[in-house]
Structure 1
Amino acid sequence: MKKGRKGFWAVCISLSLLALAGCGSSSTQGNAAAYTKENPLIVKFSHVTTADSPKGKASTKFAELLAEKTGGKVKVEVYPSSQLYGDKDELEALQAGNVQVIAPSATKLVGFNPAFQVVDMPFLFKNHEAVLKFWDGDLGKKLMSSLESKNLKGLAMWENGFKVFTSNKPISKPEEFAGQKFRTQAGKVLEAQFKALGAGAATIPFGETYTALQQGTVDGQENTWNNIDTQKYEEVQKNLLISNHGRIDYIVLTNKKWYDGLPEDIRKAFDESMAEATKYERELSTELDKGSEEKLRQSGKFNIIELSDAEREGFVKLMESVYSEFEKTVGKDIIDGARQL
């Protein structure tokens, strides 16, 4: 009887050990040795732009770099053009761990932290250098780290660029905006911006903007040089004001819990690959925007208006009411810090 009991307990212990071993093998994320070229760690990178956009090319670059740095032990699967998740569900999918990397517009993060509206604050950043200093400095890191309580980790800012105004009516002076209606993205800051100019704002989907301009539903719009070029707005607009008044930028995010559980060597390769891909994306975005600017200048289809420092200051003064209105929402330290760069 005793011998039978010993045998019984021996079998139980053996089964328990096998069960534990099975559990360990099903959760191999923290074990670098578990990944090989034949059995790689799969990382899903989902985004909503085309594969040939700066974001699309940079995500592919990131995949190539990470595969190279890990000897094929990590495979990044890139899903462009909302193939996997769209604007409305990619953040939830990332938090749930169904995807590991996304790159939404900064304004998509306003629900987590209203301070991300900083990209919409009009005439806040003096130049491109100030934008990079903001995101790569303490203020940008502060915004990124604010997402960690939501199981989101900010990795980098990827650029689209500065916005400029276009219209069929004169827009060289602040008072000329009065009475006009502009297409814009949704956002309270953007509504306040046009209100300060005495103009109206209409939220119209990006894909419907050309028709709205053509039919006169709106008088003008705001966008980057590259978006204006690729959407052929020069066919339905006469004037372009180089205002550089707002930004369209992306925040690359990962699932924090997943990231923290990566083996140290893979996490190091991940960070290095992201840094290199970020440099590549920013250079490519700037190059495309400048190329579109040059193309539109040479086309002669726009009456292009450039602002002197004094003229720009006139617009800035009008926006003081917007800064005051959103001081608590965005943060006085964020607004003042960005203006001083």
Structure 2
Amino acid sequence: MKLKGNKKRLALVIIVLLGLFMSIGHSSKTEAAAETKPEYTLQLAGAYPSTGNTPRAFVTQKIKEMIEQRSNGKIKVEVYLDNQLGGDREILEGCQVGGIAMVSQTTAPQVTFIPELAVFDIPMLFDNLDLARKVLSGPFRQKLEPLYEKAGLKLLLFEPIYYRETTTNKPIKTINDFKGIKIRTMENKYHMAFWKALGANPTPLNFSELYIALQQGIVDAQENPYEIVWANKFYEVQKYLVNTHHICFILSIVMNKGLYDSMPAEYKKIITDSMNEAGNMLFENAKANNQALLANVVKQGMTVIELTDDMKQGMDKAAKGVEQMVRKDVGNGIVDDLMTAIKNAKK
């Protein structure tokens, strides 16, 4: 009987030891798995300046910090601004083929790759940035995501941050005052059609030549966000700033879709969560920055002109012609979806 008891105790010891060895082995495997988690180095490229403490440059750095910290350094983000990896077209092409992981830019250069984005070239869409954000963070954004995916891109961030405004050396206080104004625009057929409909004379011109052109009177006016007006000192050669709010300036961040899809689920969550938080940060930072920049140009002597109801109605009418151009080029579907989203957001 005693021998049987010893055998039982021996068997129990063996079971405990086996359990201990299995636990140690499982722990070792878990630690090994943790140690062998894949590591990534992601390039985040933008053609805009890294200097000047701009909201775009600020949030780009924040995205780097958040992703690296939340991944415990397993995902490293290398930021390349100031056209270091090329202009807007080149970096987007690089992202498509996988040479650049992520790209931060406005929707304007993406129209060549995703024609439906021309919908954002329709002027006078959003009465204010809060309305724009409500529209672009709701169901309409979900309609954009497959368009980006078709182009090989994963849409990670999509935020309205500025408006294109008008600066001029001639006061514009009625809709008729736009007539005959020689205004520098982008070489964009929709933008040019809008200004022609207002009676202005749109003049595409290399941006690097714009300050001199304004100074010498080659053109009377230009249209850009406050940030660009301030950074390029257009207040030195322009008397008036008209808050036309005619085109919404939307910042997007996209990622190579194949790369994104290949990442572990927890890494995808880190990236998307960081982008969502960065979007909130960007929007609030840009709104505060806009107010500060407007105050700065006023201090430099610019006179601010707000649209009257008649001016707004006249510009809305001119925008309808551009809407028809966009419908002809990309179809009614995406335009109708956007107009419905705007109408619903106003309720």
Q: Normalization by structure 1: what TM-score?
A: 0.84
Q: Is the 8 A contact 2:64 2:79 kept in 1?
A: yes
Aligned residue for 1:108, secondary structure, equals helix
Per-residue displacement from partner, 1:21-55 (whole Å, max 9, x unpaired)? xxxxxxxxxx975347xxx3111111111224322
Pairing of 1:286-305 with structure 2 (within 5 A): 286-299=287-300, 301-305=301-305
Stretch moving more, 262-271 or 317-326: 317-326
**Structure 1 residue 89 and structure 2 residue 90: aligned?**
yes
Pairing of 1:114-263 with structure 2 (within 5 A): 114-263=115-264
The two structures, once aligned, show a CA RMSD in angstroms of 1.9
Residue 45 of structure 1 aligns to which amino acid in structure 2? L
Pairing of 1:59-98 with structure 2 (within 5 A): 59-98=60-99
Deviation at 1:255, TM superposition (A): 0.5
Quote the Cα distance in structure 2 between the aligned partners of 1:61 and 1:194. 38
Deviation at 1:224, TM superposition (A): 1.0
Identify the residue that residue 45 of structure 1 maps to in structure 2. 44
Identify the residue that residue 3 of structure 2 maps to in structure 1. none
Pairing of 1:29-40 with structure 2 (within 5 A): 34-35=36-37, 40=39
Residue 318 of structure 2 aligns to which amino acid in structure 1? L
**Structure 1 residue 308 and structure 2 residue 311: aligned?**
no
Check 1:308–1:198 CA distance in 2 against 1; reply closer, same or farther (3 A cut). closer
Deviation at 1:310, TM superposition (A): 4.6
Residue 101 of structure 2 aligns to which amino acid in structure 1? Q
Per-residue displacement from partner, 1:193-240 (whole Å, max 9, x unpaired)? 111111111222323211111111111011111211121111111122
Q: Is the 8 A contact 1:35 1:41 kept in 2?
A: no
Residue 34 of structure 1 aligns to which amino acid in structure 2? T
Q: Is the 8 A contact 2:178 2:199 kept in 1?
A: yes
Quote the Cα distance in structure 2 between the aligned partners of 1:175 and 1:161. 26
Quote the Cα distance in structure 1 between the aligned partners of 2:126 and 2:265. 37
Residue 57 of structure 1 aligns to which amino acid in structure 2? F
Aligned residue for 2:219, secondary structure, equals coil
Residue 42 of structure 1 aligns to which amino acid in structure 2? T
Gaps of at least 5 residues in structure 2 are 1-32
Aligned residue for 1:243, secondary structure, equals strand
Quote the Cα distance in structure 1 between the aligned partners of 2:56 and 2:34. 29
Check 1:72–1:311 CA distance in 2 against 1; reply closer, same or farther (3 A cut). same
Quote the Cα distance in structure 2 between the aligned partners of 1:75 and 1:152. 20
Check 1:127–1:338 CA distance in 2 against 1; reply closer, same or farther (3 A cut). farther
Aligned residue for 1:55, secondary structure, equals helix
Quote the Cα distance in structure 2 between the aligned partners of 1:194 and 1:68. 47
**Structure 1 residue 101 and structure 2 residue 126: aligned?**
no
Quote the Cα distance in structure 2 between the aligned partners of 1:32 and 1:49. 38
Quote the Cα distance in structure 2 between the aligned partners of 1:266 and 1:225. 36
Aligned residue for 1:289, secondary structure, equals helix
Per-residue displacement from partner, 1:269-295 (whole Å, max 9, x unpaired)? 111111111211222222211110112
Stretch moving more, 72-81 or 290-299: 290-299
Aligned residue for 2:79, secondary structure, equals strand
Per-residue displacement from partner, 1:63-107 (whole Å, max 9, x unpaired)? 110111111111111111111232231111111111110012201
Aligned residue for 1:294, secondary structure, equals helix
Quote the Cα distance in structure 2 between the aligned partners of 1:147 and 1:298. 42
Quote the Cα distance in structure 1 between the aligned partners of 2:68 and 2:106. 26
Q: Is the 8 A contact 1:125 1:338 kept in 2?
A: no
Q: Is the 8 A contact 1:46 1:80 kept in 2?
A: yes
2:339 counterpart (333, 336, 339): 336
Q: Is the 8 A contact 1:160 1:224 kept in 2?
A: no
Quote the Cα distance in structure 2 between the aligned partners of 1:236 and 1:199. 19
Residue 140 of structure 2 aligns to which amino acid in structure 1? L
